[in-house]
Amino acid sequence: EIDLSGISLPTHAALFSESLGRILASVSHSKKQEFETHFGDASQYIGKVGGNGLHITQNGKTIVNAPISSLETAYKKPLEGF
């Protein structure tokens, strides 16, 4: 479950752009507050992991809503035989 509303980039850039100053960190819920305190305004909470689907929104609009199994098939199918 990801909400890109707090990111001031177009959707495609928020999802796919890379830069030296941007990383994605997965932090356990028990360490969330400590992480946010340590990094302050340099961090942006965008969502949580878990479940069997991927749901991405931006400013109230659904960008992606798909089961993980479908995403896995789409990722692996072109690589079959290699």
Tens digits of residue pLDDT in 51-60: 999 999 999 9
Other beta carbons within 10 angstroms of residue 7's beta carbon come to 15
pTM of the predicted structure, to 2 decimals: 0.76
Q: Write out the two tokens for 48.
A: 């949580």
The beta-carbon contacts of 56-62 under 8 Å, at least 24 apart in sequence, are: 56/2, 56/3, 56/4, 56/15, 57/2, 57/3, 57/4, 57/5, 58/3, 58/4, 58/5, 58/7, 58/11, 58/14, 59/5, 60/5
pLDDT, tens digit, 9 for 90 and up, residues 27-79 = 999 999 999 999 998 888 999 988 999 999 999 999 999 999 999 999 999 98
User: What would the two tokens of residue 13 be?
Assistant: 């850039």
